[in-house]
Amino acid sequence: MAALMVNSKLSFNELKELLELTDGNLASHLKTLEKVEYITANKSFIGRKPNTTYKITSEGKSAFELHLKALEEIIKQQK
């Protein structure tokens, strides 16, 4: 989610390289995020090769911001 917060869109391969995940592991995470509508997928072809790009939705942005706020509160409580 953090990667998609700072990039307008990322391809499956870009996410895979950035996050250092296997195809299956990344696909599983992306499927879960799509299911709850935190990201959208756009499937296309570049030449004959399939290319899927992902974008964060407004719901995804809101959920991620709430997650960050919760983490900040935990950190504040530890001080």
Tokens of 34: 């799509």
Segment 54-68 shows an average pLDDT of 97
Domains by residue range for the chain, with CATH:
2-78 (1.10.10.10)
Give tens-digit pLDDT for 8-60: 999 999 999 999 999 999 999 999 999 999 999 999 999 999 999 999 999 99
Rounded Cα–Cα distance for residues 23 and 12 (Å): 9
Q: Find out whether 12 and 49 touch, Cβ atoms under 8 Å.
A: no
